[in-house]
Structure 1
Amino acid sequence: MTDPVMRLDQVNLVLKGHAGPVHILHDISLTVAAGDTVGLIGPSGSGKSSLLMLMGGLETASSGRVALLGRDLTRMSEDQLARFRRHHMGVVFQSFHLIPTMTALENVATPLELAGVSDAFARAAAELDAVGLSHRSGHYPAQLSGGEQQRVALARAVAPRPEILLADEPTGNLDEDNGRTILKLLFDLRDRDGSTLVLVTHADEVVRRCSRVIRLRDGRLSDDQQARAAE
């Protein structure tokens, strides 16, 4: 049996609040197989984005174990986590997080340069072309629309051809038409590269395209998800 791309064992997340500790996630155990397209759904405040951040090593579990590609993220230092993400993961946020002083091409090329890719700018140009923005490669983020900025962010995330692609409400700051465009591109690029995709979403059309749905409520897996994790 092939090892899962992602495994979480009894993961808890407790954060400090003004009134004391806040238990965000409770005893989350699940696995994600290679090539899965997983939708994280649930009410606002249910812990979806926090779970995605744990999966990406962008948040540290208070207890339990988070393993990706056979590597235990909970034992890694910040530098080790950064290197792991650089080589194996792409992340798309609701906010675009582009570097304002860099052009679209430079934004996409940056993670490739950091990874030591020799033809970083050629690869970046190809990715911008894949999202329909080759004509905007020399523009800065402030010169781009919201939909264009998110396409640049998507090109940047997939440029290193990561095994794992995480997306946190990637259409949340976009209008309906731009949202559809981003979702089509996201799934098309995922299919092109064969990445494992995990995304937080409220959109029914996204859920229908996922091979698997994980439901959260009050920081816990729903009853049917708990039963599946125990199988």
Structure 2
Amino acid sequence: MTDLVFQLKDVAFSLRGNAGQVDILRGISLKVHSGESVALVGPSGSGKSSLLMVMGGLEQATGGTVEALGQNLSTMDEDALARFRQGRMGIVFQSFHLIPTMTALENVATPLEISGQTDAFDRAREALEAVGLGHRVDHYPAQLSGGEQQRVALARACAPRPAILLADEPTGNLDSTNGSAIMDLLFEMRDTYGATLVLVTHDPALAERCDRSVALADGKIA
């Protein structure tokens, strides 16, 4: 593997609150190659989710540089970052972030429509079938179990066939059975689309399935 998907150099991320500045990430340097699966592990508050958000351009680093697919995310504004993510990154959160007034099919198809895909609904249906929900396409989130909602979220992330899959505690809100099923699907989707996978997890079994783990402590790579 020679193609760099992510290259982070001395990345810092700080937030300013009532008590002053809080330094969340402190001098993170990391490379992730094409096709790799990397688990970000460490205790709560170590900066794992913040690092994933910075890598996805959902938070802006306050120091250092973040490059993804050869593009410097550190110099982009929010609109440019959103355009960059479109079709290139699929993101799965612990809380499913589905739109409650839309069916499973509409939830998956909407981002594809926004990006101008003329076959958005066909691709959405295909993605839902791939995660075993072909029979639930017309159901609303409230009619689905937690495991099914996470499958919809996974289908939505994978439907654009992204080069990068980011997942923040994707099994955190699920019981062990559903969590295991989502783990299997996550790696199956990664293999199907040849995506590079970076995930945050407290689950040792999920971390062990990745090519390598990166442990964080106090905002630094341990």
Range into which the TM-score falls when normalised by the shorter chain: over 0.9
Total equivalences in the alignment: 222
Report the Cα offset of residue 99 of structure 1: 0.7
Indicate the residue corresponding to 1:26 in structure 2.
Answer: 26
Task: Tell me, in whole angstroms, the C-alpha distance in 2 between the residues paired with 1:178 and 1:160.
Answer: 24
Amino acid at match of 1:114: I
Which residue in 2 is equivalent to 1:52?
A: 52
| Identity value in percent | 65
Listed one character per residue, the Cα deviations across residues 104-124 of structure 1 (whole Å, up to 9, x for unaligned) are: 000000111111111110110
The ranges of structure 1 where at least 4 consecutive aligned residues each deviate by more than 4 angstroms after the TM superposition are none
Residues 153-188 of structure 1 show CA distances to partners (whole Å, capped at 9, x for unaligned) of 000000000000000000111111110011100001
Q: How does 1:40-119 map to 2 (within 5 A)?
A: 40-119=40-119
Flag structure 2 segments of 5+ consecutive residues without an equivalent: none
Q: Distance in 1 between matches of 2:194 and 2:96?
A: 23
Q: Deviations over 1:24-64 (max 9, x none)?
A: 00000111000000000001100000000000000011111
What is the TM-score of this pair, normalised by structure 2?
0.98
* TM-score, length of structure 1 as denominator length: 0.94
Superposed CA RMSD: 0.9
1:109-145 alpha-carbon deviations (Å, 9 max, x no partner) = 0111111111110110011000010111001111111
| Partners of 1:170 and 1:178 in 2: CA distance | 11
Does 10-19 or 147-156 show the bigger shift? 10-19
CA distance in 2, matches of 1:75, 1:169: 28
Structure 1: gaps of 5 or more residues: 223-231
* C-alpha deviation, 1:2, in angstroms: 3.4
Q: In 2, Cα distance between the equivalents of 1:133 and 1:107?
A: 13
Q: Which position in structure 1 is the counterpart of 2:38?
A: 38
Separation (CA, whole Å) in 2 of partners of 1:71 and 1:111: 22
**Which residue is equivalent to 2:201?**
201
In the alignment, the residues of structure 2 paired with residue 35 and residue 163 of structure 1 have an alpha-carbon distance, to the nearest angstrom, of 9
Alpha-carbon distance between aligned partners in 2 of 1:203 and 1:63, rounded to the nearest angstrom: 30
State the Cα distance separating 1:18 from its structure 2 match.
2.1
SS of structure 2 residue aligned to 1:84: helix
SS at match of 1:182: helix
1:17, distance to aligned residue in structure 2 (A) = 2.2
Give the structure 2 partner of residue 225 of structure 1.
none
